[in-house]
Amino acid sequence: MAALKITRLGWTAYAVAVATVVLDQISKLWVLGLLGSAQGSSASLLGPVKLTMVHNYGMSFGLLRDHAEWGRWLLTIFSAAVVVGLGIWARKAVRPLTALGLGMIIGGAIGNNLIDRVIYGYVVDFIDVSRLYFPWVFNVADSGISVGVAFLLLDSFIGEEKKLSHQTE
């Protein structure tokens, strides 16, 4: 059996995933220590930012909420499959934005949908910027997923532009 080859940027993706998970889980432990786990407990942080404890039983930003126990495990299993698929893609990464994006998405999925759902039964959300008219409460893992998707989209546009510019030369 051939050895599993991982590119240098693949290792970068894995390191970014680990960093995202660590930052996510440390921030959640800090907030749980500060606010406790009671739904709705809140504290002002800085300017328009508040910390508000929200138990998110759905997906990112509270989408597809379902309080049934089977929904929790379905989302956990789906997330594990996504992490495995993205991890396989990441090992072949050859562009920096691809590696960063995949790493952030993998780390966010592990932090939210694997660790939180298994330990708490819900995702711990706490970053509240509703004073800026953003209606959802989110966390570091949600941010990692969102920024990671943005990096992948940006990378696909940059890759297409380079492809087109090489074709016209």
Task: Report the catalytic residues.
Answer: 125, 142
Which run of H or of E encompasses 44?
Answer: strand 42-46
Chain centroid to Cα 44, Å, comes to 24
Residue 44 CB neighbours (<10 A): 12
Measured CA to CA, the distance from residue 125 to residue 65 in angstroms comes to 13
CB 79, CB 72: distance < 8 Å: no
State the residue for tokens 């943005």: 150
Phi-psi region of 92 (alpha: psi -120 to 50; beta: other; left: phi over 0): alpha
> Which is it for strands 49-56 and 42-46: parallel, antiparallel or unpaired?
antiparallel
